[in-house]
Structure 1
Amino acid sequence: MQADSKPLTKADFEALARFRFGIRRYLRFSEQTVRGHGLTPQQYQLLLALKGFPGREWATMSEVAERLQLRHHSAGELVNRAQSQGLVQRLPHPEDARSVRVELTEDGQDALARLSSLHRDELRRMEEALALPHWSEPS
């Protein structure tokens, strides 16, 4: 990826810094909120990835690993921990006997609904801070 040859202005740096600060504030909110409800941030991300998977509400282990940007064995360990807490379950894949699908349990659905509502409300409050920067035109 090649950088734009035009130098960044002071306003560009301020916009980047404001956006980065907004992202970090949101992530901190998320981490604290999720932990306060007895889950790890990774478990919340897993639940959200499953519910938000395009076209269905389950994923294979490979898809979980890809969505969460984890190695396959790390995704497996995360699913194991979430399964032991009753948040997800493994079921036979409907078309591939070599694979399993991971989906939310009712408890997982409930936890995700509560946490996602809080996240949505926080994102609404932070809308301006998380808006993509508008780049100034160099003179």
Structure 2
Amino acid sequence: MTKSKQAPLSKADFEALSEFRHQLRRFLRFSEDAAQAEGLTPQQYQLLLHLKGYPGREQATIGELAARLQTQQHGVVALVTRCEAAGLVTRTPNEQDRRQVFVSLTKAGEQALQRLAALHRSELQSLAGVFQVANITAFNDRD
């Protein structure tokens, strides 16, 4: 965002920001509850999602997962270890660089992710109007 002279925020701007944050938190709460109902932590669900959704492939390194999860690598190592113990993921050494390990979903991880992702998609579809760009047009630079 550039530091140009902008008009002060209006009451409508604050209402739009408040509503967006409310709906975002509502979705995150839904996600936490859905993961726990599946027997996973929210972090485990996010890890599975980022593995399946990694651009161009269905495996990722610890460093790549840490970047996606916005956390430290040592925390991701612990999370992967817990997911591996639960039978959700496997680790495979990188053949080109033995210092790296690829993490990928197991069949059980894939099945849990499919169930949870379907629930998340339905919830996002119900919130589609809230997250449309039109709802935040008040934040565009005014002439």
What is the alpha-carbon distance in structure 2 between the residues aligned to residue 42 and residue 124 of structure 1?
22
Number of equivalences? 139
User: 1:134 maps to which residue?
Assistant: 137
Structure 2 unmatched runs, 5+: none
CA RMSD of aligned residues (A): 1.7
Q: Which has the higher contact order (CA 8 A, sep 6+)?
A: 1
> 2:6–2:142: 8 Å Cα contact kept in structure 1?
no
Q: 1:12 to 1:93 in 2, by over 3 A?
A: same
- Identity across matched positions, percent: 50
CA distance in structure 2 between the partners assigned to 1:10 and 1:138 by the alignment: 15
TM-score normalised per structure 1: 0.93
- For residue 54 of structure 1, report the CA deviation from its aligned partner: 0.4
Q: Equivalences for 1:26-105 in 2 at 5 Å? A: 26-105=27-106
Instruction: Quote the Cα distance in structure 2 between the aligned partners of 1:95 and 1:69.
Output: 26
Structure 1: runs of 5 or more not aligned = none
Runs of 4+ in 1 over 3 A off after TM superposition: 1-4, 136-139
Deviation at 1:38, TM superposition (A): 0.2
CA drift of 1:3 comes to: 7.0
Deviation of 1:97 after TM superposition, in Å, equals: 1.8
Moved more, 107-116 or 122-131: 122-131
3-state SS in 2 of match to 1:135:
helix
TM-score w.r.t. the length of structure 2 is 0.91
Q: Displacement, 1:131? A: 2.4
